Amino acid sequence: MTLFEECIAVLSEYSIIEDKKLEKQILSNLHLTFYGKVDFSMYSDSHEVSLNEIRLLSGDYYVIWSDCTIPIIKCNIIDILNNIDDVLAVSFDTWLISVDMKQIIEFYHEGSVVQFRNT
């Protein structure tokens, strides 16, 4: 079983994004530097956050992993956070983008968690 398969096995409800047009739209909101970190200058508000702060969020988020062979999934933020170890184990870096594309949360492999809000 792969780490991705283990991850989706623990999530209570999720959907795999198979629509290439939607996938392209989601990825177009993720502005990365050449070294794979979100480019802070592309967003109106960014700051480091704790998991406790993220737990105050609600709704569905897209989960994107740095390994581009792994599909994007859509899942409820509470379910993601309740299984965060499995979600983050899938790849080095993980990003969560709200379905309205206004928030991005980056889990960078060096330990920082940063939230961005596009306003």
pLDDT in tens, 23-69: 999 999 888 888 888 887 777 777 778 888 888 899 999 999 999 99
The predicted structure's pLDDT at residue 50 = 81
Task: Say what the alpha-carbon torsion angle 8, 10, 11, 17 is, to the nearest 10 degrees.
Answer: 0
pLDDT top residue among 34 and 18: 18
**Contact (CB, 8 A) for 19 and 78:** no
Q: Decide the pairing of beta strands 60-65 and 94-98.
A: antiparallel
Residue 119 has pLDDT above 60, yes or no: no
* In the chain, domain spans: 3-117
Percent of the chain at pLDDT above 90?
A: 60
**Contact (CB, 8 A) for 74 and 8:** no
The predicted structure's pLDDT at residue 111 = 62
